[in-house]
Amino acid sequence: MPGLEDLYREIILDHYRTPRNRGELESPPAIETRGHNPLCGDEITLYLLVDGEGDDAIVSDVKIGGQGCSISQSSASMMTQAVIGKPVSQAYALIRRFKTMMGIEGYDEQPGDADVAMGDLEALQGVVKFPVRIKCAVLGWNTLAEALDRAGV
């Protein structure tokens, strides 16, 4: 479906040209985590704020900085939009769904994960056709997972 591929390409380029949630948050209270893809030089700094504890914990804000290719930067931008305001459990579900979509082994979806909408993130599903670019797409997600783990909620 060339029309769908064109739409997906436009979504990716839009997030690259006009990334959402760029910037910094004061650390602390924000958790600052850095990710790097040595294969192509992509770098990301992620700032995470989580409000609440346990099952009530919410991703209240995420900011990203860094530089890299259109795939890594677009994926990180879309990721921030997908998780801000969501419960931490849904953020983890999105991480699993995204990594499953990218064909990453060891990230099987859990019950309830399919109920979490992917939205614009589906535009990145074509990345799996280019295995060398998968690490670009998951860089932000790996960095988010590390930050969430460090939050300890």
Within 8 A by CB and 6+ apart from 34, the residues are 43, 44, 45, 46, 143
Report, as ranges of residue numbers, the positions in the chain whose pLDDT lies below 50: none
The predicted pLDDT at position 80 comes to 98
* Structural domain count of the chain: 1
SS3 content of the chain, % helix, strand, coil (to 5): 55, 20, 25
The predicted pLDDT at position 7 comes to 77
Q: Buried b vs exposed e over 127-138: b needs ≥16 C-beta within 10 Å?
A: beeeeebbbbbb
CA 21 to mean position of chain CA atoms: 12
The predicted pLDDT at position 82 comes to 97
The predicted pLDDT at position 91 comes to 97
**What's the rounded Cα separation, in Å, for the pair 140 and 5?**
23
* CA angle (46 as vertex; 10, 130 as ends), nearest 5: 40
Tokens of 116: 């979490």
Helix (H, G, I), strand (E, B) or coil at 42: strand
The predicted pLDDT at position 6 comes to 79
The predicted pLDDT at position 2 comes to 57
The predicted pLDDT at position 33 comes to 98
3-state SS, one letter per residue, for 137-153 = HHHHHHHHHHHHHHHCC
The predicted pLDDT at position 45 comes to 98
What is the domain extent for residue 15?
2-151
The predicted pLDDT at position 143 comes to 98
CATH number at residue 61: 3.90.1010.10
